[in-house]
Each structure stands twice: as structure tokens, then as C-alpha cells.
A and B are shown apart, each in its own frame.
Chain A
Amino acid sequence: MLDLSRFSSIGEALREALETYAPEVCLIESDRNEEKLRLSYREFKERAVLLAKWLQDTGFGLGDRASIIMTNQSKWLISAYAIFHDGGTLVPLDYKLKPEEQWQLLKHSGSSVLITEYPIWRQLGNAAGREAATNIKKVLVTEAPAEADLFGALRWEVAQGSGSPAFVPRTRQDLACIVYSSGTGGSPKGCMMTHENYLEQCVALTSLYPFWPGVRYLSILPTNHAIDFMVGFFGPFTCGATVVHLRTLRPEFVREAFVKYQITYVSLVPLVLKNLQKGLQARFDELPPTKRRALDALRNINKRLTKKQPRLGLSRLLLKGVHQAFGGKLRAIIVGGAFTEPQTLQFFYDLGIPVANGYGLTEAGTAVTVNDLKPFRADTVGKPLPGMEVRIVNPDAEGIGQVCVRSKTVMAGYLDDAEMTAQTIVGGWLQTGDMGRFDRTGHLQLFGRRKNMIVTEEGKNVYAEDVESAFEGLPVKEFCVFAANYIWSSRSMVGEKLLLVVNPGPGQTFSDTLKNEIIARNNRLTNYKRAHGIVVHSEDFPLTASLKIVRPRLAEQLGKLDRDSVVVSI
């Protein structure tokens, strides 16, 4: 691995990696059963400098911002490197957002360039919100069919400058990326991440989960997500490892990829991990009784022998069939984006497949704690990574309080929102809004949130306030969206739901017409943003002098009600 302490920026470290590991395989791209592309670090560089030069020739440079909206593929990483090479700031956006949400963030980010894929641009090009994003001056579109209408965009493939682009240096404190942790409903939370944030996070993570040439990382989580950006791009590149991209995420092709490419690491969200568990369990259940008994016996032996730490060689020998289904080279599954249930983690560990579970948030530069596997602890989210100071503030009688973090990986703040930044980073400590405590061995355990938000099993952060716009104009006196756990604390990080609280107004009742109107509006939201229940609250909401709802006080009032009897499921 490169010594990252020598570098001032992501671009500088990547530039060195492309030279150091020139002959190694850098990227593999596969679509279904067919390998479409294989690039060495040298070939990656050759492609990236063409784009870097073109961008420079068109005036892109120091501190300029460029957004990427793409699925996981080689051109995502090539474009990102070109942006860093030119001293730009990268804005990675979620390709799963709706077009109008993407335009909102494109505008907010102040990007002058957008790089995207044709299937995405097809929906984005004419969508509402484009005219307002006047900051976007150039759009590059990959994989556009020959006759396609590009709505004024240019083809990525023609964006090739000639000659060598000048490398533009940045300092560690300069802005590397603006990453939106959520907030498409009026208050975008654009985390300003510095080069130092990434360089330090990379050193910390790779100290526990190292990469080297020959390691193959299967990139499934969207690269715009902080985890994949780190362990599916920057981390492996600075170690000369290989990143494997799949153009389809159908489970059957993902399974094949593990075997075909002898995958070493993969990152998954809890939903996918649970799905894998379900699939494996179903196969175990179908085994004839004798084979099933043999499997259980071997699993028990493995469990005993790996109690203190993983013993990969031994586990692969004992549970050969299971490990071969994953290609036989898998060292760990990295799980993140949301809380994972302990029994799922234990299921895999007992099979000899360590799951690197941890805790993190974009604002903290991805991971804060990670299980070091010495020993594996399914009931915690691990110990703080090297360089992370983590403390529990205002603990209650059980020692549970807010998790606060101080580290070189903590963001510089929220873009254009000094007020929210001041509330979130206090005296250098990031207030995570998550509740936790340390056990005697220094492992962090989590117990719910004090934020009015949910995190889905797919790793999506949804702030309750951000979905309220979907209900604007409802024929009620007032309404408010809450995370159910914010009202009725369950000390749980799973199964979180949003609720719509409505006050129909004096003399008004909660009619079927109103309910149907709410359901219709709810269904227009992206599925993970939908409310799962309605609470009819016929008392006036507490308001500030400027007539804003005092959410904490309203939540407190609602918390006194019996959840089961007041929530109407929708």
C-alpha cells in the first residue's frame, strides 16, 4: 500500500497509484455472463488523462465542482479521477433519486459539469428542475445510442483532449467531495469532505482490512455511497487491488461473479446480507438429513475453533461447499449503510465468513467503529477505528447517551448551512444523534436515535421533514411527519418507520376521502420514503412565534399516547 501520509490530496495519491501499480489489473466490468472490460492501472490512466485534458481545455479547474450520476462502472471511477486530477471537487449523486431530486441537488451543489449515463439522462434531460440549475454548463453522457437525442449534452466518448493535462495540486484541507447524506425535501445536507478526511479514513480502514495487488473487491453498493467510494475505489486503488463492477445486480449473476472472479471482499447493505442468509438457509434446509447433520456438526466445530479470531484456512477446509459457493477466496463481507441484526452477522461468522460490521455516517467520513474480529462480537458495532475519538455524552443510568466523534475524518461542515453545521459539530465534536454505550471491552453498542429520521435496511437515510412536501395542500389544519422511534423510543435500529400525524381541524373528522388522498400522495413517493401509518391528533400542534411546528414538543405529547391504538396503518 502507498504511504498515504506523503500525500496532500486524493488526486495526488491516485496519480502515484496509477504509476506504482501500472501493470496490475485495476478494473473488471462484467455484464451478466460476459466480461466487457478489463483495464490495467496503466490503461485506466491513459483513459482518464484524455478526459482530464478535455475538462481543462473547456475551462474546468481548481475548485470547480463536477457531479457524477452513474451506476457502478469503470467510467464512474475514470471520471472521478479526471476531476481530482484537475483540482476539482467531486459531487457524487445517488442515481436512484428521482430526476427532480437530482436537479435540486445539482443546483445546490453548484456543479458546473455533470457526467451521467444515457439511461439516466433520458429521464433527467427534460425533467422539471433543469432550467433552475443554471450552474450546470456542460453535461457528458456515456453509452448514448448513435441516434439518441441528448438534449444538448455531449457524448462522454468524444470528451478527449490531446496532450498532457497539468496536474492541479490541492491541500489536505481543500474540499475533495460534497456528499449528500440526505435532504432532498428542502434542506439538502451536503457534507463537505476534505482530502484529509479520505486520506485518514483510508489509512484507518485498511489497517484492519488490508488490500494488496491480487485482491478483488466486488463493487455492488452504489459508488456515490461513502462506503463504496472508500472500499470500492480509493482504498483498493491505493493498494493496487482490483475492483469488479457488474452491470446487473440480479442475484443469480451476483452469485456467479463471486465464483468467476474469486472475490476477496464485498460490501453489502443489511437487506442484501439477509437475503443471502435466507438463500443459504433454504439450501441447508433442503439437504438430506445425514448431510444436514454433517453440516451442523462442521459448523459447530468451526464455531468453537474460531471463537477467539477468524481462521480462514481452517473454515474453508471445514465448510468447503459453502466457501466454494462464494468463490473460495472471500476474506470478509463488509456490511454498512444501516444497522445489521446480530443473528445475521453470527450466521455468517459461524460459517467461517467474517462480516466486518461497524458504525459510521457520511458526516464522520464513513466508518467510526468496526469489528476487529478479535474476537468477533455480533452484539456490538466494534471498537473505534485508529484515530477516532468516540465518547458518550450525557449518559443515562444505563450508560446510554449520544455518540459523539472527533477525528480528522469528520467533515468540514454542511454546504451553505452554517446553522446546521454549528448544531452538528460542537467544539470539534460531531453530534451523531445516535444513542449508544461502550461495554467493558470497549465495543460500542447502539440503542436507537434521537434524530427524527430513519435508516432503511437498504442503507437509505430518510429525514422525516424531507417527505413532508408530498403532503402539502392536504385538506387538514396541520400535519407533520415523524420517525416512529422519535416519538416512541424503542432503542432499536431496525424496522424503523415513518408516520404522518394529521390534525383535521375544528369540527373535521378523519374521513375515508382524506385517508385515500393521503395514500395516493404517499404512493407517489419513492418506496423507501413512504409513511407506514397515520396518527390522527385533533389537538393544535405546538408552534413557534414564526408558526413553525415545535417537533420535539409535539413528539413528546404524542409519546404519551398508546402507539398501538393511535397508529392507523396505510
Chain B
Amino acid sequence: MRTIEQTTQEILQLAAKQFKVAEGSLNPEDDFYKKLGIDSLQALDLLSRIENHFRIELPDYEVQGVSDFKTLAERIQSRL
């Protein structure tokens, strides 16, 4: 079982890879819309990638209103 720290790190890595930014430039507290310069549709794409990686299903409502990596990681952790 992953720890929340591991889950968070893996999410940061996935986001960095998908949106082609340096891995070390992302922090858990970052607002991913702002930091990655993405819109709501691109955020949904990121979610699909996260689902495939963690092999979970994350309903859209689970991430409604979430905009930072830390909270996103918590939502995912609760479903692992």
C-alpha cells in the first residue's frame, strides 16, 4: 500500500510528464490549473491518466472543486 507521500509524488510525476514540465518544479500545494496553465478539459485528461496509473475509477464529482495536487492525492489515496 502506498503512503500519501508516495501517491502525491507519483501524481506530480504524471502531471509533469503529461504537460512537459520539469518534475522538480511541481509541489503538492500547487494549484495545477495555474501552475500547469491548463483548462478544465486538460485537467480531466490528467485524471484519466491518473486512473490508468493507479488502476482506480475516480468519478468526476470526487474532484469537483479540487485544484491542488495535495487534495487530489488525498481523494485518490482514499480509493486505493
Contacts and interface: CB of A to CB of B under 8 A. Distances in A.
A523 interface: yes
Interface in B16-34: 31, 33-34
Interface stretch (A160-168, A248-256, A425-433, A468-476): A248-256
Interface string B46-80: 01100000000101111011010000000000000
A123 B40 contact: no
B40 A119 contact: no
Given A251-B41, A272-B41, A119 B64 contact: yes
A511 interface: no
B65 A98 contact: yes
Given A523-B31, A523-B34, A527-B33, A248 B64 contact: no
Contact of B40 (A98, A248, A458): A458
Interface in A242-285: 247-252, 271-272, 275
A117 interface: yes
A271 B45 CA distance: 14
A530 B31 CA distance: 12
Contacts of A305: none
Contacts of A523: 31, 34
Contacts, number: 47
Nearest to A252: B48
B40 A251 contact: no
Given A458-B39, A523-B34, A527-B67, A119 B47 contact: no
A257 to B, nearest CB: 14
Contacts of B59: 119, 247-248
A251 B60 contact: no
Interface in A442-467: 457-458
Contacts of B4: none
Contact of B44 (A117, A119, A251, A458): A251
A248 B34 contact: no
Interface string A317-334: 000000000000000000
B65 A123 contact: yes
A16 B39 CA distance: 42
A7 interface: no
Nearest to A456: B39
A95 interface: yes
Contacts of A553: none
B45 A251 contact: yes
Nearest to B57: A32
A247 B65 contact: no
A249 B48 CA distance: 11
Contacts of A251: 41, 44-45, 48
Interface string A106-137: 00000000000101100100000000000000
Contacts of A117: 61
A237 to B, nearest CB: 25
A563 interface: no
- For chain A, what secondary structure do more than half of its interface residues adopt (helix, strand, loop), or is it mixed? loop
A291 interface: no
A189 to B, nearest CB: 22
A306 interface: no
Contacts of A249: 44, 60
A250 B61 contact: no
A247 B39 contact: no
A248 B41 contact: no
Contacts of B39: 271, 457-458
Interface string A383-424: 000000000000000000000000000000000000000000
Interface string A207-240: 0000000000000000000000000000000000
Contact of B47 (A98, A250, A271, A526): A250
Interface string A29-52: 000100000000000000000000
B62 A119 contact: yes
B49 to A, nearest CB: 11
A71 interface: yes
Contacts of A98: 65
B3 to A, nearest CB: 25
Contacts of A71: 60-61
Contacts of B31: 523, 527
A311 interface: no
Contact of B48 (A250, A275, A457): A250
A491 interface: no
A374 interface: no
A250 B44 CA distance: 6
B41 A275 contact: yes
A274 to B, nearest CB: 9
A123 B61 CA distance: 11
Given A96-B65, A98-B65, A247 B40 contact: no
22 contacts: A98-B65, A117-B61, A119-B59, A120-B61, A120-B64, A247-B59, A248-B60, A249-B44, A249-B60, A250-B44, A250-B45, A250-B47, A250-B48, A250-B60, A251-B44, A251-B45, A251-B48, A252-B48, A271-B40, A457-B39, A526-B65, A527-B34
Given A250-B47, A250-B48, 4 more contacts: A71-B61, A119-B64, A251-B41, A527-B31
Interface of A: 32, 71, 95-96, 98, 117, 119-120, 123, 247-252, 271-272, 275, 457-458, 523, 526-527, 530
Closest A-B pairs by Cβ, 6 of them: A119-B61, A527-B33, A275-B41, A248-B60, A250-B44, A523-B31
